[in-house]
Amino acid sequence: MTAEQEDRLVRAAWEARRHAYAPYSRFAVGAAVMADDGQVFSGCNVENAVYGATLCAERVAVGQAVASGRRRLVAVAVVAETSSPTTPCGTCRQVLTEFAQDMPVVIDNGRQRWHFRLAELLPQAFGRSQLDGR
């Protein structure tokens, strides 16, 4: 991913974060994923009084990509106003792995950026290869 693509991805995540629905936690998160054709899809967290029904920003962004026919994701950005990196939760890591075994994960808090690889955030991920042997 080029620096320009990374900046575009992070900007899309910050824009999506503006629309976060977080009345319970007051913790607004934005995310954006990039498909292999360069198209960017964004999402924000959508909380619910039944906490288990809450949608994370990353899964909303992945859903947007899939609903648009994209299946190959190549990068993700997650943004929040925190002092330390706000990485994808375990469920989001698993969902992202469904569409890319490894990808750059860019975390931004408006003052600093961190760079990870999905495979380092979710080593030994469960995936299609485990189901192939059933």
**CA 72 to each of CA 1, 43, 51, 83, 109: distance values in angstroms, whole numbers, following the listed order:** 14, 17, 29, 31, 26
47, 58, 98, 120: the catalytic one is 58
Structure tokens at 40: 């960017």
Between CA 76 and CA 97, with CA 119 as vertex, the angle to 5 degrees is 60
**Residue in 75, 73, 69 with CA at minimum distance from that of residue 13:** 75
Active site residue 47: no
Would you call 113 helix, strand, or coil by DSSP? strand
Q: Which residues are catalytic?
A: 58
